[in-house]
Amino acid sequence: MSFALPGLAPKLWRAAAVRVRIHRVIPLPRLACSPLPFGPHSMRRALLVPIIALAAAAPLTAQRTADPRALLAEAERMEGVNDDSALKLVRQALPGLASPAARSLRARALALECSISTSSAEPAELVARAESGMGEARATGDARAFAYLRLCRGAGLDTSGEGDAAESDFEFALTEARRLNDPSLLAGVMAARGSHRYYRGDLGGALEDLNQAYAIWQRLGKDRRVRATLEAIASVYADRRVAEYDRAIEYYRQLLAADEEAHDSAGLADRLYNLGSTLEQKGDAAAALGWYRRALEVERRRRDADQVAYCERAIGIVLGKLGRAREALAWIDRALAFHQGYGDAFELAWTRLSRGVVLNRLRRPADALRELDAAGAYFQSAHVDRFLEKVHEERATALATLGDVGGAYEARTAQLALGRVLQDRLREETTSQLRVRFDTEKKDAENRALVRENALRGRALRDAARIRSLQTIVIALTTVIIAFLGYAVVRHVRSERLLRVMAMTDELTRLPNRRALLHVGAERVQAARKGAGPLSVLALDIDHFKRINDAFGHEVGDRVLHRTADACRAALRRDDVIGRTGGEEFVVVMPGADSRVAMEVAERLRLAVERVAWGGVADGLGVTVSVGAAEWAPGDDTFAALARRADDSLYRAKELGRNRTELAEVG
């Protein structure tokens, strides 16, 4: 029996099947935070943790003036270098910006305060602060500050589990970043959306967004943000579903060198821990132990008690894997004492499971059962299946040692049943793994193909030279080249057609994707502007889709998306076009439909989804959708403007209770 425990992920991301602690950071131009979208494991920080200091904080030597404008300028300079000082300065400046003449500066200050607070505020507080600032920015017409505050609110919503609402904020900020040509805002959106995609299991999408953020920061010369984004990318590669461990280790070592040069103890501790975690997942427990011990030394110097306990548990688990169970028990007991005093249910259950495994190795089955039963009760209630499978396995071992054959058989049966469920999920994760690896291996494959092609061509020429005259060779080669070119042209045309179809089609639902829908929408808006008749757009979103994924698994979530697409497609009019724009969101373009027709069709879609026999997908499953409708008006210059009004009405439908339709006002 192995000692392996599930969920041992890099410190920035815990395994997604368990729970991911995501740190949302919204970079602002000169009001910028690190784009790193994921934070260290720390229950004390309650999902939002302090930013990792990527550069040594410079002490303030100049005399500060009480002028609020100067305070704000100094806060902008300090932000990202010493966030605590920057936050104090902006809060000193805010009371002096209360006059009507200073409202524009006040909106800018509120955006900065919200951005910095993403590293420390509770999610609900962050959302409230962002919405208050949005009111100020809207009143002054400051579109840039408003966009940053929407992104800040999206970070709070996403961290608190409101991923559907967060996506609306992210998409709004993304549209504004492109309209305003603001590269810093665009990088911030890519970072935030990358973490959101990672949480939802879209590893390829997460990597795509983070790579975009990384490239933007490089162009802007933001070295600290480049390093922070590289950290997030490394954590994608270190995820067990991707398993590009050597690439992750390479990145972590680069970052470790930068942390040592900058004397950044917080970053150094995280990098040391992540190197240990990645090596452990790779199977090198002995090497992992050394890195964990170094991380522990740094955390002890920093006096970060919960991080010390986290390192102690990791050391105990690795010692167990190395067959040193007695030493392992002492380390895990120290971690357990902390978590019992602190009261974090997840961390306590994880540590008790670790202790139960060690006690089994020490032939103390009765003690092991007490720990395993306590841990299992929590994992059962929280639906943490990978940990629960380990609990069943260890309970079977303990019961067998005690001579309870029947109990051991039941535990083993439960383990095997849960193992089959996890195996099904693994097949889905393999798809994500292949998608991520595709980009990293594509260039190597092209190079290998080129080498093979050159070798074959050279061999053909040498063989032809031995058996034909020069004239025969020329004729033969000409014939071959013409045939090859003809074949290549045919293949190219076919491939191009196939790629065009693939590029415009959503792989899961087989509906038009976002790109295709934008193309259709732009054509329909242009036609409406020329007097072709009314035009409406519906924005549709599956209610509480994240809960469906969490409760029933991503495979059921995919089936829900597929069936929802089928139900909607069947309920639409002949000329209507529906596409999936991302996640659980769909958009319908309805030429020739005024607002009355749009609302009729929207209600028909809602009822069609509600009436689907979802019991055949999963027991206890019920699915509803919220729909927002908007009719084109002359003020809608682009399809994006029309779609945004439909999306706003969708957001209102969700606020009013979901499973309903709402019509956007014209204006």
Domain boundary assignment for the chain: 514-663
What sign results for the dihedral spanned by CA atoms 512, 516, 521, 524? negative
Question: What is the tally of helices (H) and strands (E) in the chain?
Answer: 24, 5
Query: Is the distance from CB of 574 to CB of 590 less than 8 angstroms?
Result: no
pLDDT at position 221: 81
> Under 8 Å CB-to-CB from 507, ≥6 apart: which residues?
none
Of 35, 45, 36, 33, nearest in space to 12 by CA = 36
CATH of domain 514-663: 3.30.70.270
Q: pLDDT, tens digit, for every residue of 174-231?
A: 999 999 999 988 988 898 898 888 766 677 888 899 999 999 988 888 776 788 788 8
**pLDDT above 70 (res 104):** yes
Q: Lowest-confidence range among 384-388, 439-443, 632-636?
A: 439-443
pLDDT band at residue 611, thresholds of 50, 70 and 90? very high
End-to-end CA distance of the chain: 67
CA dist., res. 108 & res. 102, Å (int): 10
What is the SS3 assignment for 538? strand
CB atoms within 10 A of CB 135: 13
CA dist., res. 299 & res. 293, Å (int): 10
CA dist., res. 264 & res. 260, Å (int): 6
Q: Lowest-confidence range among 83-92, 292-301, 522-531?
A: 83-92
Which H or E run includes 628? strand 625-631
pLDDT band at residue 57, thresholds of 50, 70 and 90? very low
What value does the CA radius of gyration of the chain take, rounded to a whole number of Å? 28
Query: Is the distance from CB of 313 to CB of 350 less than 8 angstroms?
Result: yes
Higher pLDDT, 378 or 104: 378
Query: Is the distance from CB of 268 to CB of 260 less than 8 angstroms?
Result: yes
Query: Is the distance from CB of 75 to CB of 90 less than 8 angstroms?
Result: yes
Most confident of 56-60, 394-398, 481-485: 394-398
**pLDDT above 90 (res 159):** no
pLDDT at position 501: 56
CA dist., res. 332 & res. 510, Å (int): 50
> Under 8 Å CB-to-CB from 299, ≥6 apart: which residues?
269, 307, 308, 311
pLDDT band at residue 355, thresholds of 50, 70 and 90? very high
The stretch 351-355 carries a mean pLDDT of: 94
> Under 8 Å CB-to-CB from 115, ≥6 apart: which residues?
25, 26, 27, 28, 31, 32, 33, 79, 148, 152
- Rounded percentage of the chain residues whose pLDDT exceeds 90: 34
What is the SS3 assignment for 627? strand
The stretch 391-396 carries a mean pLDDT of: 92
> Under 8 Å CB-to-CB from 557, ≥6 apart: which residues?
545, 548, 549
What sign results for the dihedral spanned by CA atoms 274, 277, 280, 282? negative
What is the SS3 assignment for 647? helix
**pLDDT above 80 (res 502):** no
CA dist., res. 647 & res. 552, Å (int): 27
Q: pLDDT, tens digit, for every residue of 394-427?
A: 999 999 999 998 988 998 998 888 888 877 665 5
Higher pLDDT, 15 or 77: 77
CA dist., res. 533 & res. 311, Å (int): 66
> Under 8 Å CB-to-CB from 341, ≥6 apart: which residues?
none
CA dist., res. 468 & res. 460, Å (int): 12
Tell me what the pLDDT averaged over the chain comes to: 79
CA dist., res. 435 & res. 431, Å (int): 6
Q: pLDDT, tens digit, for every residue of 533-582?
A: 999 999 999 999 999 988 888 899 999 999 999 999 988 998 899 999 88
Query: Is the distance from CB of 83 to CB of 57 less than 8 angstroms?
Result: no
Check residue 205 and report its DSSP letter.
H
- Helices 203-220 and 183-199: crossing angle in degrees, nearest 10, is 160
- Please report which residue ranges of 203-324 form alpha helices under DSSP H: 203-220, 223-238, 245-262, 265-282, 285-302, 305-321
Query: Is the distance from CB of 330 to CB of 317 less than 8 angstroms?
Result: no
pLDDT at position 503: 66
DSSP state string for 296-358 = HHHHHHHT-HHHHHHHHHHHHHHHHHTT-HHHHHHHHHHHHHHHHHHT-HHHHHHHHHHHHHH
Amino acid at position 378, single letter? Y
What is each CA distance from 249 to 268, 274, 275, 313, 610, in whole angstroms? 14, 8, 6, 22, 48
- Helices 103-117 and 123-140: crossing angle in degrees, nearest 10, is 160
**pLDDT above 90 (res 6):** no
Query: Is the distance from CB of 578 to CB of 588 less than 8 angstroms?
Result: yes
What is the SS3 assignment for 3? coil
- Rounded percentage of the chain residues whose pLDDT exceeds 70: 77
The stretch 430-445 carries a mean pLDDT of: 47
Higher pLDDT, 69 or 25: 69
Of 309, 347, 316, nearest in space to 331 by CA = 316
The stretch 648-657 carries a mean pLDDT of: 93
pLDDT at position 15: 30
pLDDT at position 109: 85
Q: pLDDT, tens digit, for every residue of 118-139?
A: 656 677 888 888 888 888 888 8
What is each CA distance from 59 to 81, 85, 115, 216, 533, in whole angstroms? 10, 10, 22, 29, 65
